[in-house]
Amino acid sequence: MKTVNRKVTDAEVAGRAMTDEEAEDTVSESGGERMERKPDCVLKEQSGQEAAVILANWKKRSRRYRIYRRCLCVVLVLACTALAGMCYYSIDSSIPSMIYLRAGQEQSLDLGVPARAEIIGVSGQGDSNIPKGAVTIDLNKPVTMRMGGLEEYQMQVNLFGLLPFKQVEIRVVEDTELIPMGVPVGIYMKTEGILVVGTGEFKGQDGTECSPVKYILKSGDYIHKIDGESVTEKEDFIARIEESGGRELILTIERDGEVFDQKVRAKKDQNGVYKLGLWVRDNAQGVGTLTYVDSQGRFGALGHGINDLDTSTLMDIDDGTLYETEIISIKKGTVGTPGEMTGMIVYSDDRILGDITSNSERGIFGVCNQKVQTLTKMEPLPIGFRQEIVKGPAQILCTVDGETAYYDVEITAVHLDNDNVNRGIELTVTDPELLDLTGGIIQGMSGSPIIQDGKLIGAVTHVLIQDCTKGYGIFIENMLDAMG
């Protein structure tokens, strides 16, 4: 056998050389799955698209981040503004616009605010002769003051000692003692003129609805005259309208302190009676608590004014009378429903306690007679000013079971410069006996004296409807200031 020796090439070992086209379409040995190899241009295009998507996503995230940063900045600005506003309000409410001091006595003033004050003048003296910077006070520290005569001073308060903040009036008054009363009284007040409660409609003779003064008069108006003649009684007013015969009348009206004349003409109803279509009132009556009597026989009561039930406006009074009254029933207060006292008022001369001369937003005031002295055995007490009131135990004086007695309360907050003059003191009833009798503060207790540390500091004025154990009080100096 002839043996032939030759060199075996790589191509022969592989079988044959593969072309480029065949290399692009091979079958994997592991499972026969087809593997495609893409051209470089396709890969570049795909990479570019992926880069574009990544760039677009990055831009979206960047825009979102910018929006988030802006929103965060806005929130921070609003938060800082709110914080600054709260700080401003807190400091402003901590500095009373009016400070009362007793003449000739040393008194401590501890406001604890980051401000300095300067006495800049004396009221009523024109240009001040006090040198600038001669009298300064650091309101961040307790300060003892002693004022001489009965004067009124102007004090400029500068925040942090630099920024002008507010002016405070310092009123120097004589040391006053008042007899705390806490007894229920009947109140009758005659309005100054005829109070318009509202307008209404009636059917005229032809059957159509009539309202002659619907857009002429409104709730809260006072009618003082008809054709130049004064009118004070509701019955007299109605009679003069009925007798007008449908002729033109001139009513003198008071509205929001402005007095003007208004022409009106009554119309007949289906019964042939002339009417204007008005609801009117000429008096108000109710039960409240007498707060104090001073050495001159002047009294203050309620701690708030008497408003008309329908119009909610403070009633202008011509005169009024204070009557002795007896509480005949008590309705306990519950959540959402305030309780009330029901009193029996006998309108007889032998039960008159005094005359009401003023009805203001700070209470009713007048002069009482000697009969009032038989209603109490309480001794006069000195008054306590707002800056002397502290959070903590106090008492109210009231009559709920036939006898006048002290009941425990807790003063929870003192608002030295509250815009609402009737709500400078916040208090909570803690006395178990009073809670058992009334459930807390009820209607009719308005005017009950508030006593702390042996001083008369104010009077109860309001109850919280949602929690009748809590309520508000007015500072005693606010009542005295309104009494004059």
- Write out the DSSP string of 15-32: SSPPPHHHHTT-B-TTT-
Give the integer Cα–Cα distance in Å for 214 and 218.
7
pLDDT, position 386: 92
pLDDT, position 112: 85
Give the integer Cα–Cα distance in Å for 470 and 428.
4
Q: What is the pLDDT of residues 138-160, one digit of tens each?
A: 888 888 888 777 788 888 898 88
Quick check: is 304 catalytic?
A: yes
Structure-token pair, residue 78: 């609003």
My answer on whether 325 and 237 are in the same domain is no
Give the length of the chain: 484
Give the integer Cα–Cα distance in Å for 474 and 78.
35
My answer on whether 301 and 350 are in the same domain is yes
What is the domain-level CATH number for residue 120?
A: 2.60.40
Whether 152 is in a domain gets the answer yes
454: left (phi over 0), alpha (psi -120 to 50) or beta: left
Whether 14 is in a domain gets the answer no
Give the integer Cα–Cα distance in Å for 104 and 97.
22
My answer on whether 270 and 238 are in the same domain is yes
What is the domain-level CATH number for residue 207?
A: 2.30.42.10
As a whole number, mean pLDDT of residues 168-190 equals 92
User: Are 209 and 201 a contacting pair, CB within 8 Å?
Assistant: yes
Give the single-character DSSP code of 150. Answer: S
Q: Which amino acid is at 4?
A: V
Structure-token pair, residue 246: 């449908």
User: Among residues 256, 276, 296, which one ends one of the domains?
Assistant: 276
User: Are 222 and 232 a contacting pair, CB within 8 Å?
Assistant: no
Pick from 374, 360, 449: nearest CA to 177: 449
Which range (169-173, 237-241, 355-359) has the least confidence?
Answer: 169-173
Q: Which amino acid is at 1?
A: M
My answer on whether 415 and 374 are in the same domain is yes
My answer on whether 340 and 390 are in the same domain is yes
In whole angstroms, what separates CA 278 from the centre of its chain?
32
Residues of the chain by 3-state class (helix, strand, coil), percent to 5: 20, 45, 35
3-state SS, residue 214: coil
Q: What is the pLDDT of residues 210-245, one digit of tens each?
A: 999 998 999 889 999 999 999 989 999 999 999 999
My answer on whether 120 and 242 are in the same domain is no
pLDDT, position 27: 41
pLDDT of residue 29 exceeding 50: no
Q: Which of 221, 282, 446, 462 is catalytic?
A: 446
pLDDT, position 21: 45
pLDDT of residue 433 exceeding 80: yes
3-state SS, residue 46: helix
Q: Tell me which residue has tokens 């907050």.
A: 413
Q: Which amino acid is at 177?
A: E
Whether 62 is in a domain gets the answer yes
User: Percentage of residues in the chain with pLDDT exceeding 90?
Assistant: 49
User: Among residues 276, 311, 333, which one ends one of the domains?
Assistant: 276
My answer on whether 325 and 249 are in the same domain is no
Give the integer Cα–Cα distance in Å for 367 and 300.
9
Whether 7 is in a domain gets the answer no
Quick check: is 462 catalytic?
A: no
Quick check: is 175 catalytic?
A: no
Total domain count, the chain: 4
My answer on whether 167 and 225 are in the same domain is no
pLDDT, position 36: 53
Whether 19 is in a domain gets the answer no
Does residue 185 or residue 143 have the better pLDDT?
185
Q: For 37-132, where are the E strands, in sequence order?
A: 98-102, 106-109, 115-122
Whether 441 is in a domain gets the answer yes
Q: Which of 224, 431, 448, 462 is catalytic?
A: 431
What is the domain-level CATH number for residue 453?
A: 2.40.10.120
**Mean confidence (pLDDT) of the chain:** 85
User: Are 166 and 115 a contacting pair, CB within 8 Å?
Assistant: no
User: Among residues 245, 276, 307, which one ends one of the domains?
Assistant: 276
In whole angstroms, what separates CA 155 from the centre of its chain?
27
Give the single-character DSSP code of 35. Answer: -
My answer on whether 267 and 300 are in the same domain is no
Q: Which amino acid is at 61?
A: R
User: Are 267 and 212 a contacting pair, CB within 8 Å?
Assistant: yes
Beta strand pairing status for 317-331 and 267-268?
unpaired
> Which domain, by its residues, includes 267?
201-276
My answer on whether 73 and 119 are in the same domain is no
Structure-token pair, residue 206: 């032809």
Structure-token pair, residue 484: 């004059």
Does residue 191 or residue 43 have the better pLDDT?
191
Whether 194 is in a domain gets the answer no
Cβ count within 10 A of residue 474: 32
Q: Which of 304, 360, 448, 462 is catalytic?
A: 304
Which range (22-31, 97-106, 145-154, 380-389) has the least confidence?
Answer: 22-31
Phi, psi at residue 71, to the nearest 5°? -60, -40
Whether 424 is in a domain gets the answer yes
My answer on whether 259 and 240 are in the same domain is yes
My answer on whether 459 and 311 are in the same domain is yes
As a whole number, mean pLDDT of residues 420-443 equals 94
Q: Please, which pLDDT band fits residue 129 given cuts at 50, 70 and 90? A: low
The DSSP-derived string for 363-408 is: EEEEEE-GGGGGG--PPPEEB--GGG--SEEEEEEEESSSSEEEEE
